[in-house]
Amino acid sequence: MRLVVQVKPLPTPEQAAALEATLHTVNRAATLVARIAHQQRCFRNFDLRKHAYARIKAEFGLAAQAAQHVIKKVADAYRTLHANLAVGNLGKPGSRRRRAAETRPIVFRSRAAQPYDDRCLSWQHATRTVSIWTVAGRLKAVAFTGSARQLALLAEHRRGESDLIWREGAWYLYATVEVPDRPVAAPDGFAGVDLGIANIATTSDGIRHSGKHLNALRHRHRELRRRLQAKKTKSAKRLLKRRRRKEARLAAQVDHAIAKQIVTEAERTGRGIALEDLGGIRERVRLRKPQRVTLHSWSFHQLGAFITSKAARAGVAVIFVKAAYTSQECSACHHIDKRNRPDQATFSCTSCGFAEHADVNAARTIASRGETGWAVSHAA
């Protein structure tokens, strides 16, 4: 499985100046390449090299590898733009936003991220430094730091390109790592996980992971957004962007922690994990309007993806089950009835009298569907 590890370079002031000058230079070069691509109507990496390679090397003093990376970055940016245009993400044909995207060449921010391959950037794990190409010559020993887990992943499994990133006043290196999956163990039963809003995740063991802290932050941000959007100033936009990032970071942290607990518990007890088929979640949930907003910004997919990837690394089986009626089905007798669920939190079976927290009951139903589904798909 491919993961991205984030570490923090700790450059000296001189090293930082060289890194900064490098980002400025490669992005000016990228903007020029984008203009050439736009004028020549030539967007593929290979073709673009013929038009731009010699010129940006000479004009910006780029090393051969750096020049190639600049061109590839431009080709990738156009590929993304064209894909976005094709699926209508930039508005209907003829709309102002779309016309602007079609008629103007791409411009790169002066601090946009830059990819590095192993020749331009090498890792020394023992001394925890990188050697990196810059426009001011090669920096031999730029220190970096990161969490123990990230450093271990990096030292053992790093492979492929790394990105140099400047974000909100700090430097980052994003490195790709390839971690081998463990073979999936035959599960001894399944733990069911119900994903929700008030409770982010509830397991069939009765553990509820509430999103209180995160929901409160989201609510505050929504209020702030309403006030700032009315202003439309540049500083308001910047603040909004920062808030959005903060929210996304917190959500990722919360999701990581929940996914870890769920996978660790399943691994410890030798069980697999049953999840609802994520595609159906939004359609299934019917909510009052304020909650629906929360739901749409909600990261079901992220949590599902974290659980799936951590399970793959731990060798824990994951099965996706149909989401239909999980909230109305009795996990004891499988009787399905709308009236089984008199309110948001309560489940009370009209047939056998079984009562449980509604989310726990749903998680148990998901677990039993997982067991059935696994038995069917592994019968042969």
Rounded least distance, CB 123 to Zn ion, Å: 58
Judged by beta carbon, residue 228 or residue 349, the one nearer Zn ion is 349
- Per-residue mark of binding to Zn ion, 149-188 (x: CB under 5 A): ----------------------------------------
DSSP H helical ranges for 269-320: 281-284, 289-297, 300-314
Buried b / exposed e across 46-67, counting CB within 10 Å, b at 16+?
A: eebbeebbeebbeebebeeebb
**Nearest residue to 254 (alpha-carbon basis) of 219, 222, 280, 215:** 215
Rounded least distance, CB 352 to Zn ion, Å: 3
Residue 116's CB is within 10 A of a number of other CB atoms, namely 20
Judged by beta carbon, residue 54 or residue 333, the one nearer Zn ion is 333
Judged by beta carbon, residue 23 or residue 330, the one nearer Zn ion is 330
Rounded least distance, CB 331 to Zn ion, Å: 8
**Nearest residue to 274 (alpha-carbon basis) of 180, 329, 204, 378:** 204
The one-letter code for the residue type at 239 is L
According to DSSP, the β-strands at 170-178 and 2-9 are: antiparallel
**SS3 call for 147:** coil
Please name the helix (run of DSSP H) or strand (run of DSSP E) that holds residue 255, with its range, or none: helix 234-268
Q: Which of residues 299-358 bind Zn ion (CB under 5 A)?
A: 330, 332-333, 335, 349, 351-352, 354
Q: Which of residues 3-32 bind Zn ion (CB under 5 A)?
A: none
Q: Does 106 bind Zn ion (CB under 5 A)?
A: no
Judged by beta carbon, residue 63 or residue 332, the one nearer Zn ion is 332
Between CA 46 and CA 205 the distance in angstroms is: 55
Rounded least distance, CB 361 to Zn ion, Å: 9
Binding-site size, Zn ion (CB under 5 A)? 8
Rounded least distance, CB 117 to Zn ion, Å: 60
Rounded least distance, CB 340 to Zn ion, Å: 8
Between CA 116 and CA 70 the distance in angstroms is: 10
Torsion of CA 89, 93, 98, 104, to 10 degrees: 130
The one-letter code for the residue type at 273 is I
Rounded least distance, CB 301 to Zn ion, Å: 32
Between CA 100 and CA 85 the distance in angstroms is: 11
Rounded least distance, CB 321 to Zn ion, Å: 19
Judged by beta carbon, residue 40 or residue 346, the one nearer Zn ion is 346
Judged by beta carbon, residue 146 or residue 192, the one nearer Zn ion is 192
Angle of CA points 129, 67, 69, to nearest 5°: 65
* Contact residues for Zn ion, defined by CB under 5 A: 330, 332-333, 335, 349, 351-352, 354
